[in-house]
Structure 1
Amino acid sequence: MAGLRIAILFKHRQSGRWMLPQVEELRRRGHYVVVVLPPGPGPLPTELTRRGFEVVESPFDFRFRPGPATLRDLWRLRRLLRDLRLDIVKYHLYAPALAARFASVGLRLGRVHMVVGPLFLESRVIRTVERWLWRADDVIICGTEYTSGQYAALGVPPSRRPATTPGIDTAHFSRRHYAAQQRQAARQRSGVKPGHPAEPEPAGPTSAELRAAIRTELGLAQETFLVVMVAYVYAPKRLTYNGRGIKGHDVLLPAWQAFQARHPRAHLLLIGAGFSPVGETHRRELIRRFGVDTDPSVTWLESVTEVRPYYNAADLSVSPSLSEGHGAPVEAGAMGLPSIVSDAGGLPEVVDPASGWVVPAGEVAPLEAALAAAYREFEAGELARRGEAARDRMVKFFDHGPAAETIADIVERTAAGVRTR
């Protein structure tokens, strides 16, 4: 089935690169894809434009505020969707889902809701509303089996809630690929062309040398047990988890203090600033509450341009979230890191007994015990085997190539069903 007209609705301009393989696969199959984003610059519209996709500014900013302006802008969004003459509207995140459902009422097109993170379903209020609103979707592509189960509890039949991960580029997130890119960069800096007969090509750094360099940059001894957590800091939300931050920083930091007191040759690297101004306020409160700024065993980097160097330098990844899709452990695992994850959301789907540990969400003592177990394997030289198993698991189950094909198949089946109505 070629020649479908598909609009993707998304509310962020700064993030969302994970959707790029999906739109590329739809285009590869001969479909026209337009991406509808809020007005303004950002990395996502820039990258989409560079790749030759049409980006259209949404007349609705995906924020629902009481008043006539909301109704006016939803009507404008409806006119946009109608004028694009669409076969499919595909929406990500809950606010675009609500907007697309309301704005497309009465339009003859297919509605594909893709759910990557399950947080909104963990709000009792939203879950009650969603028990009825899901019927506006022709299909809900659930990014995790956990999310599919949540929709099953709301009465969604299996055929309308397939589970498939968005996936990641497991070739990009690999130690070998990262080291190869750094060697290529070294050749470019040297000015020596590959295969030049007069001058030997510079060897460039190996993965082990890159690992050592980052540890030196962080001021760490090479034998230090380095644990990394990659996550933005989200402000506590009133409707979920009793006002606690969902990424579990407030669980990890006390667990780390207890663990590190008995294992002084260990260091925690946190990567991620506040996702918003209120998220940054919450991060600074965490730093104050747990004395992070005076703890030499903890380094907190607000942002980095590239996470692979830090995964390459680390021994273990930790994700103690209260709510999560598949999250950072997929990238960490592809880079050959074992993970400790909480049992929240889709995280247990990422880790198996050979590649990491699963602990109860929100509990400090089990997380501390898992850190100690990982440390014992690190000391015995056995932890790297878990990293190899993690890498194999990510390539087998979480690569974005097969995932994009599966998602494109679902979109095409949905369009075929709409045409036969």
Structure 2
Amino acid sequence: MRVVVMLKTAEGGRWVVPQVVELRRRGNEVIVLLPAGPGRLREQLHRAGVPMIDSPFQFRFRPGVSTFVQLHRLRRLLRRLRPDVVQYHHYHAALAVRLCAPGLDLARVFMVPGPLFLESGVIRAAERILCRLDDAVIAGSGHTAELYRKLGRPDRTLFAIPYGVDTRLFRPVDAATRAAARHQLGLPNDTFVVIMVAYVYAPKSLVHRGTGIKGHAILLDAWRRFHRDCPASRLILVGSGWDAAGEEYRQELLGRFEVAGEPSIEWFAGVIDVGRYYAAADVSVSPSLSENHGAALEAGASGVPSIVSDAGGLPETVSAGSGWVVPAGDVAALLAALHTAQAEFRAGDLDRRAARARELVERQFDSGDCAGAVADVVEVAGGLHPVPRRRRRLVGTVPG
């Protein structure tokens, strides 16, 4: 079977690599369409020996002849490649394939990496109709699957399968490795270390206007109050701006919260290997306003308990004993959770949560298992199997 996988980025979306590798392992031919230019996703696919083609569509829907020409070229490319299945990630890629593929003999599978676009009433109304053009929808979380169910997507072609995390790459470290990581970062053993790993996205115009969706401002606001009460604490932020607008917003946050003059906060941008930061951390925070599963999976696989907001699929990443769920955008609730986590750190009780966090991720979010489930759906759509061999559904959990 020939599968074309389409993404709107050559940098992000690296969670697709295990899926592509699994499809190829099963003997399928896979070709990935990416925007032209360098990026870490392109590098990983190249190392895996995956064929790539620069997409003729630039993933911008602007009125005019240029958009029509790009869609026409994409249609010609798909007609030439003659795939059995086109699997697309990101909403712009979904729109492009839906618009250019009518009449082509191929199956269309939309894997949804996050619910943000469905939080716009205008897009949600359009998606109620447009999603009928997909042969299957794979939601990246149980939350997103429920949103599509409410839009009328039938259960027989709707799947909830996470992108997952590499539990071999991200795993708990021993005491010596942890001590070395903290020493390198200048962190005393008795310091409570909080980490947030996320790119910085500029505020969106259609949803959550004025606030970056990853919630950096919410955490920084809570941290000022928390550190005042608990001075033996440090906050590590890992992640640059996703694009120029994201970096501009990050610089604005640096100034607004006076990060440069605050010794309790360190912000590392341009980091590729986040492992040593997780090794040094006691608790991870994901305070997003909109999210799939985010960095909570990497943290959990690394044996770091998480405080997550109740946005999107984040509550699915913790169990009653592995972490905490707080209302999105609620600074006071996040502050209270930080105090609770710090008290457990002082009492030596975080180790139990760390073990449960690792167990949960191994059980439900291993990227190898998730990639296998995605490959099942893609092969069913392409006609290799009459029915899915397995269906993975996620259930949100409650805070503990």
With the length of structure 1 as denominator, give the TM-score of the two structures: 0.89
**Structure 2 spans left out of the alignment, 5+ residues:** 388-400
Q: 1:314 to 1:89 in 2, by over 3 A?
A: same
Q: Does the residue aligned with 2:159 lie in a helix, a strand or coil?
A: coil
> Are the counterparts in 1 of residues 137 and 157 from structure 2 also a CA contact under 8 Å?
yes
Tell me if 1:133 matches 2:130.
yes
Deviates more, 1:156-165 or 1:132-141: 156-165
Cα separation, 1, equivalents of 2:386 and 2:362: 36
In the alignment, which residue of structure 2 is the partner of 1:338? 305
Kindly report which structure 2 residues correspond to 1:210-225, keeping only aligned pairs within 5 A, or say none.
Answer: 210-225=177-192
2:324 to 357, 360, 385: 357
Report the CA distance between 1:417 and its aligned residue.
8.8
Cα separation, 2, equivalents of 1:419 and 1:224: 56
> Are the counterparts in 2 of residues 169 and 399 from structure 1 also a CA contact under 8 Å?
yes
1:270 to 230, 237, 248: 237
Report the CA distance between 1:118 and its aligned residue.
0.9
1:77-133 per-position Cα deviation (integer Å, ceiling 9, x unaligned): 000001111110000001111001111111111000000111111111211111110
Tell me if 1:120 matches 2:87.
no
> Are the counterparts in 2 of residues 26 and 408 from structure 1 also a CA contact under 8 Å?
yes
Runs in 1 of length 4+ with deviation above 6 angstroms? 417-420
1:307-345 per-position Cα deviation (integer Å, ceiling 9, x unaligned): 111101110000000000011010000000000000000
Cα separation, 1, equivalents of 2:220 and 2:47: 41
2:277 to 290, 310, 320: 310
In the alignment, which residue of structure 1 is the partner of 2:168? 171
Cα separation, 2, equivalents of 1:419 and 1:360: 42
Cα separation, 1, equivalents of 2:353 and 2:172: 15
In the alignment, which residue of structure 1 is the partner of 2:377? 410
In the alignment, which residue of structure 2 is the partner of 1:296? 263
Deviates more, 1:212-221 or 1:254-263: 212-221
Tell me if 1:329 matches 2:328.
no
1:231 to 189, 193, 198: 198
1:78 to 75, 78, 94: 75
Tell me if 1:14 matches 2:31.
no
Q: Does the residue aligned with 1:416 lie in a helix, a strand or coil?
A: coil
Amino acid at match of 1:30: G
**Structure 1 spans left out of the alignment, 5+ residues:** 177-206
Report the CA distance between 1:419 and its aligned residue.
10
With the length of structure 2 as denominator, give the TM-score of the two structures: 0.94
Report the CA distance between 1:46 and its aligned residue.
2.6
Cα separation, 2, equivalents of 1:413 and 1:370: 44
Q: Does the residue aligned with 1:33 lie in a helix, a strand or coil?
A: strand
1:255 to 222, 227, 234: 222
Cα separation, 2, equivalents of 1:416 and 1:220: 55
Cα separation, 2, equivalents of 1:32 and 1:285: 46
Deviates more, 1:115-124 or 1:335-344: 115-124
Amino acid at match of 2:248: T
Q: Does the residue aligned with 1:357 lie in a helix, a strand or coil?
A: strand
Tell me if 1:89 matches 2:86.
yes
> Are the counterparts in 2 of residues 341 and 347 from structure 1 also a CA contact under 8 Å?
yes
2:355 to 380, 384, 388: 388
In the alignment, which residue of structure 1 is the partner of 2:108? 111
> Are the counterparts in 1 of residues 379 and 385 from structure 2 also a CA contact under 8 Å?
no
Report the CA distance between 1:216 and its aligned residue.
2.6
Report the CA distance between 1:38 and its aligned residue.
1.3
What is the root-mean-square deviation in Å for CA atoms of aligned residues?
A: 1.5
Kindly report which structure 2 residues correspond to 1:18-29, keeping only aligned pairs within 5 A, or say none.
Answer: 18-29=15-26
Cα separation, 2, equivalents of 1:262 and 1:383: 20
Report the CA distance between 1:284 and its aligned residue.
1.1
Report the CA distance between 1:175 and its aligned residue.
2.7
Cα separation, 2, equivalents of 1:317 and 1:144: 20
> Are the counterparts in 2 of residues 110 and 418 from structure 1 also a CA contact under 8 Å?
no
Cα separation, 1, equivalents of 2:384 and 2:41: 31
> Are the counterparts in 2 of residues 87 and 109 from structure 1 also a CA contact under 8 Å?
yes
> Are the counterparts in 2 of residues 109 and 418 from structure 1 also a CA contact under 8 Å?
no
Report the CA distance between 1:418 and its aligned residue.
11
> Are the counterparts in 1 of residues 142 and 313 from structure 2 also a CA contact under 8 Å?
yes
Cα separation, 2, equivalents of 1:232 and 1:53: 26
Q: 1:214 to 1:418 in 2, by over 3 A?
A: closer
Aligned length: 387
Cα separation, 2, equivalents of 1:42 and 1:287: 26
Amino acid at match of 1:402: D
Amino acid at match of 2:251: R
Cα separation, 2, equivalents of 1:218 and 1:172: 21
Amino acid at match of 1:228: I
Cα separation, 2, equivalents of 1:72 and 1:351: 46
